[in-house]
Chain A
């Protein structure tokens, strides 16, 4: 199985409809169909399209941008940039574990030929990457340890961060 986010956010949204929509999307995204990316599209949130370059639906990314950023302020300090490319199910990026100093700012810059969600475990930070696009996930490395970065739906490990 994949452990994508739980169908219903554990923070109870006030509007039932919103919860239902998230649940539907969550289930769709979690249905582990062999076609992977194509399963996660469309429906309730009413913001996404069904084009080939569909954005994965669950969150707030503007649709169909080729280079989207999860960071609200594009001018913000990106810190140490870890660039990773996913193409044809293969991951190209830094070898071994990426060493990061505690409290440093780090940006995971993921370019992918499939739409999916980037998930930094432990910190539990996520960003959606559109098909053929790039997403930045910027965070402050304030927890120490070894953490996995994964392309969530595809169960593909992108890298491991060693924060110390």
Chain B
């Protein structure tokens, strides 16, 4: 028996449609689902009656300045430059490993680094520290190095006009690669994807300027959105502050494509949940070999359908809310309310993957090019599957889904009140306006309850 890191990283085992992985979580106990779902419903409708009647969240204006030492640390230019250089170096190493390392998934760190350590790890790091990837983005670092050699950007206005749509598209491309592409965990393909992704965004930045990355690079935007929920943020006046995740999320600017970006995240994670159910594995997603075209087509259609379904629910709910509450452009104004829900989805689906399969990245990086090196002294290590118990995983899953729901409901409430007040009769909103404001939240609550119960049921069916 080989005890080393010979992972079962088959490209698309039926257990996991996700890029890589060796195990899947147990189905959530029914009691957890009932309690979690019930809590979500009760909290939602209690919120209607009990929460504040005038908008309380101050968004970008909120927050308490952090102590000067912490501020100096956070804003330290040398530290930032050093971290950027390290991030760029590690990224280049992962790309090199993808092309030059072991050709098989179980022996190559790159797929694990991309699908688990980076993509999943981005969630907790951003939630705790803020938009780290906007700061460390190796593509932006590369661009800054190349910019003096390039002609001036020809279309600097494009990032503004397009809003976050390019980010939505690039995240859709990544999640397709992660969940549906043929041979997606093949190290060479992972390398090709990384180079392709980098090339597209570098060219786009060359044409439109550095702002491209904060608007159009899906990973940077994802980190920025999640980072809005972090306890550490930057106030409108530029100061580094402690603030609540509610104010952070309310500070997210409602650019075009913001909602689409979040919907891609929620929909793709939801689809990953679908593929873990026995229903999918024995039904639409079953029987096919991942190497054949039909399995790719099935997964592509499933992914697109899930994203479109979530988007349709969102559009219907926000349009109805706007019609009832009498405020315009509602679909563009509630995108931030789904950010905590997207975060909850990501945590619930990928927590155990990160804890367990994330270990492979480091074990495999110990001998990155399969030359017999043991840089980290981990060659003989194997994954410790006892780090967290099933009960802990289940609790984290329910807490993440319900917690995300809770934040989403409060954000939607505050935004609805704010919008109604703005469109109402000045400051003195009458009783009729108030009732309409409360009623307008019902479709939003229905949307969130649907997303939450849906997620819990998928985990139950897992």
Contact = CB atoms under 8 A, between A and B. Distances in A.
Bound pair: A and B?
yes
Interface in A1-51: 1-12, 30, 32
A103 to B, nearest CB: 13
A146 B9 CA distance: 14
Nearest to A5: B6
B2 interface: yes
A120 B8 CA distance: 8
Interface string B194-206: 0000000000000
A119 interface: yes
A120 B10 CA distance: 11
A143 interface: yes
Nearest to B278: A96
Interface in B1-48: 1-11, 13-15, 22-27
Interface stretch (A73-81, A105-113, A154-162): A154-162
A125 interface: yes
Interface string A115-154: 0000111101110000000000000000111111010100
B102 interface: yes
A2 B386 CA distance: 28
A6 B6 contact: yes
Contacts of B282: 96
Contacts of B75: none
A122 B289 contact: no
A105 to B, nearest CB: 16
Interface in B105-127: 105-107
B15 A148 contact: yes
A6 to B, nearest CB: 3
A164 interface: yes
B370 A150 contact: no
A105 B117 CA distance: 33
Greatest chain A CB density within 10 A among B2, B14, B281 is at B2
A150 B367 CA distance: 27
A162 B186 CA distance: 27
A122 B385 contact: yes
A121 B22 contact: yes
Interface majority SS (helix, strand, loop, mixed), chain A: loop
Given A119-B8, A125-B1, A157-B13, A8 B370 contact: yes
Interface majority SS (helix, strand, loop, mixed), chain B: loop
B91 interface: no
A11 B26 contact: no
B203 to A, nearest CB: 29
Contacts of A96: 278, 282
A121 B102 contact: no
Contact of A146 (B4, B15, B103): B15
Q: How large is the interface on A (under 10, 10 to 19, 20 to 34, 35 or more residues)?
A: 35 or more
Nearest to A12: B372
Contacts of A4: 104
Q: How large is the interface on B (under 10, 10 to 19, 20 to 34, 35 or more residues)?
A: 35 or more
A122 B11 contact: no
A111 B21 CA distance: 27
B291 A150 contact: no
Contacts of B278: 96-97
A143 B387 CA distance: 11
A155 B182 CA distance: 13
A1 B13 contact: no
Contacts of A5: 2, 6, 104, 106
Contacts of A8: 102, 107, 370
A141 to B, nearest CB: 12
B159 interface: no
Contact of B104 (A3, A147, A150, A160): A3
A46 B27 CA distance: 47
B26 A150 contact: no
B452 interface: no
Given A146-B24, A146-B25, A157-B14, A11 B2 contact: yes
Contacts of B178: none
Contacts of B106: 3, 5-6
B380 interface: yes
A145 B2 contact: no
Contacts of A2: 10-11
B26 A124 contact: no
Contacts of B281: 160
Contacts of B104: 1, 3-7, 30
A35 to B, nearest CB: 15
B217 interface: no
B247 interface: no
Given A157-B13, A164-B26, A121 B8 contact: yes
Contacts of B14: 148, 157, 160
B183 interface: yes
Contact of B13 (A7, A143, A144, A148): A148
Q: Lowest 8 CB-CB distances: which A-B pairs, in order?
A: A121-B8, A6-B107, A10-B4, A146-B24, A122-B23, A145-B23, A148-B15, A122-B22
5 contacts: A3-B10, A3-B105, A6-B102, A145-B390, A147-B15
